Amino acid sequence: GEDVEQSLFLSVREGDSSVINCTYTDSSSTYLYWYKQEPGAGLQLLTYIFSNMDMKQDQRLTVLLNKKDKHLSLRIADTQTGDSAIYFCAESIRTAGNKLTFGGGTRVLVKP
Amino acid sequence: DGGITQSPKYLFRKEGQNVTLSCEQNLNHDAMYWYRQDPGQGLRLIYYSQIVNDFQKGDIAEGYSVSREKKESFPLTVTSAQKNPTAFYLCASSQALDQPQHFGDGTRLSIL
């Protein structure tokens, strides 16, 4: 089945690391994505990881994938006020024509 | 600058009226998508198109129609059959169905 879940809210102090978690249920996923949405805007692709990888690092962003537990996380190092936004994880499912299934989003609030 | 342009940014619909949302991309992408986002929720797929003159229903296609006469354009019509059209509509495109999707800035549709 297809179900992607995220916690609703995360509060973090400026300069600290943020960790946003996501769980998914479909083992035939090909890619897993992280998108950022600022108020009133579209989704910005942050990073993505192929399902046969464990980790991907891109500047301040680190993605960890635990396939056994179907758990995906996004770590943002040195969190800035500009990182305040809603973050969505999504999985692309090969057996469903590579359709994207999105989680409900995690609202991240960065406090100065 | 390459990108995805959605217009208008805000749209109001009267009861019983059809409205069309525009989506244009100059990324030379083959695949295009329409999503609906309701407050506090993730995205749900309305329709997608893998190639010109072809499109497929997504998870919530009832009350919507699309066309794909040109590679760069994928307009969405919200018909009067859609009883709860108030939402934020997002268009996306990708090089192919199994490639990362990039999003426009969205159109917010409201009922008068």
Write out pLDDT tens, residues A10-61. Answer: 999 999 999 999 999 877 778 999 999 998 899 999 999 998 889 999 999 9
CB contact under 8 A, B105 and A99: no
Set of chain A residues whose Cβ sits within 8 Å of the Cβ of B40: 104-105
Confidence check: pLDDT of A6 > 90: yes
What average pLDDT does the structure give for chain B? 93
Determine the average pLDDT of the residues in A69-82. 96
What average pLDDT does the structure give for chain A? 92
CB A1, CB A50: distance < 8 Å: no
CB A11, CB A30: distance < 8 Å: no
Determine the average pLDDT of the residues in A69-85. 96
Q: What is the DSSP string of B24-93?
A: EE-S--SEEEEEEE-TT--EEEEEEEEETTEEEE-TT-TTEEE--SBTTB--EEE-TT-S---EEEEEEE
CB contact under 8 A, A42 and B43: no
Determine the average pLDDT of the residues in A103-112. 95
CB contact under 8 A, B100 and A45: yes
Q: How far B39 CA lies from chain A's nearest CA (Å)?
A: 10
Q: How far A67 CA lies from chain B's nearest CA (Å)?
A: 19
CB contact under 8 A, A99 and B48: yes
pLDDT above 70 coverage of chain A, percent: 97
- Contact status of A99 with chain B (Cβ, < 8 Å): yes
Residue A1 pLDDT: 45
CB contact under 8 A, B103 and A97: no
Set of chain A residues whose Cβ sits within 8 Å of the Cβ of B45: 99-100
Q: How far A69 CA lies from chain B's nearest CA (Å)?
A: 22
- Residue A78 sits at φ, ψ, to 5 deg, of 50, 60
Confidence check: pLDDT of B7 > 90: yes
Closest CA to B33 of B86, B89, B82, B84: B89
Residue B1 pLDDT: 60
Q: How far B58 CA lies from chain A's nearest CA (Å)?
A: 9
